[in-house]
Amino acid sequence: MAKQAFEASCRGYGSANPDPCLMVIFGASGDLTQRALLPSLFELAQEGLLPEPFAVLGVAISDWDDDGFRRRMRDAVSPRNSDEEQRWEDFVEKLYYLSGDFESEDSFDALRARVDQLRDSLGLPDNLLFHLAVPPVFFASICEHLDRAGLAHSGRETYGDDGNGWRRVIIEKPFGQDRSSARALHRDLQRVFAERQLYRIDHFLGKETVQNMLVFRFANPSFEPIWNHRFVDQVQITVAEDIGIGTRGDFYEKTGVVRDMVQNHLLSLLSMVAMEPPVSYDARSLRNETGKVLQAIEPPQAADCVAGQYEAGRVDGKTVRGYREEDDVASDSTTATFAAVKLRVNNWRWTGVPFYLRTGKRMAQALTEVSVHFKPVAHPMFPHSGDPGPERNLIAFRVKPEEGILHTFIAKQPGSELCLAPVTSRFLYAEAFGIERPPRAYAWLILDAMAGQQTLFAREDWVDEAWRIVDPLVDRLERQHRSQLHVYAAGTWGPPAAAELLALDGRRWLQPENPVR
């Protein structure tokens, strides 16, 4: 990835730049830090986008020191060539570590002392970015301990750029287990931090194609006039994973697919594609509009939902076990690993347009895509035969496996006869910008947090509305009997009932074998 990839992705924030700061990562020995956070920070360092001075202080229970932390993070980043190896040698000097217990006052006293020492030795201003890469049970207690240890506040009393320092907190999902617990957690956090300091992260919103939904609609005059119920027949949102639950059996048993995926990722995608034009591209305007989308959605009825659980099957030619055979999963578990839901956005723009959401583990392939399907022409003047299919006229925003936008429309095939066929125009990042892979979503979002930009982070009212929508669905799933859960073989596109959900409306899911691919 070249530096121009980052430059071409400028958000239009004007002169906003990341402030020099110390980033404190709680849960620094965990999977998220090694898989996403440190590789993202290293990406930023390679492109010269990290502020100066800057340092990372990892905090976790593991009994490591600075050198041990640095060795493990190097393994996670895995520099690919001599140039990256040299950049890593420069970057690694910014990494530090403190072993501590998230519920121990002594640990936070030690943290305060280490923060003061690093600030003095590195010439860092009083700017602290806390990243809570820990289980949600620790969110409130960590913030309370930061407050008691004198780390939650700087000399700044107002949220301006007066040089007296700031505090910001990045919070990972899930934000609560339901609406009531999310509200309680918000109250706990607000005893220490203001809403303007809280950055509830959904890494989907940092993905290039998700942001391109907005640019596609609002920077091009061709599409916004037809982005409504008069022209759109349906919207499909698929977030399919080919992996299972891995070592997260205990977590998944308590969470399930609706809490894990629908409440955040899929509703984030829905609100981005369905929102009204914001007044401007800023945190207040954009988040006002995405919140209004959720306010217009009623919780789905029982007939509009299908839940499933994967059983043994084959993925990529390999036999894999079923969910109930996974580690730390009950043999009679009724936890859903798949969900298909039909939602309705009850406003003037989208009245009558169904939004079909689908997500699951151990599906046929990894695929994240939002497809907007347009209605057929009012009068079909050209001859045709057979079912035109769902792919005849649509726009697909693909996040995975290849990021880009695909526009499928009807054209005449060459020849003496008038024969119509769907064709697809493709915009892919690799081809259009020469980018092997777009920047990591976490890289952008961490950079935004350093710059004080909350545009792509969820606000408290958005989270509250999301739980209002999914709480009845979660409650229904948790009360269902084992016999009511639809099973599907690993390596497929989910249970047959998911296809029937659309068939009742005379529609079908867009699948990878369709010409849009």
Tell me the catalytic residues.
Answer: 265
* CB within 8 Å of 21: residues ≥ 6 apart: 51, 54, 124, 125, 127, 128, 129, 450
For residue 512, which phi and psi values (nearest 5 degrees)? -60, -25
Structure tokens at 130: 């806390």
DSSP 421: E
Q: How many alpha carbons fall within 13 Å on the CB side of residue 34?
A: 13
* CB within 8 Å of 221: residues ≥ 6 apart: none
Please, is 376 exposed, middle or buried when counting C-beta atoms within 10 Å of its C-beta (0-12, 13-18, 19+)?
exposed
51: preceding bond cis by omega (within 30 degrees): no
Distance CA 231, CA 226 (A): 6
Q: How many alpha carbons fall within 13 Å on the CB side of residue 300?
A: 27
Distance CA 137, CA 276 (A): 35
SS3 state of residue 201? coil
Query: If we measure between CA atoms, which residue out of 490, 103, 438 comes closest to residue 311?
Result: 490
Query: If we measure between CA atoms, which residue out of 240, 135, 237, 140 comes closest to residue 183?
Result: 140
Other beta carbons less than 10 A from residue 158's beta carbon: 7
Q: Which residue has the tokens 């609560």?
A: 176
Distance CA 234, CA 505 (A): 10
For residue 206, which phi and psi values (nearest 5 degrees)? -90, -5
SS3 state of residue 184? helix
Strand residue runs (E) in 160-231: 166-171, 198-200
Tell me the C-alpha to C-alpha distance, in Å, between residue 192 and each of 140, 284, 314.
9, 22, 49
Task: Quote the distance between the C-alpha of residue 248 and its chain's center.
Answer: 18
**Buried (b) or exposed (e) across 330-361, using 16+ Cβ within 10 A?**
eeebbbbbbbbbbbbbeeebbeebbbbbbbbb
Write out the H or E segment, with its range, that includes residue 286. Answer: helix 283-295
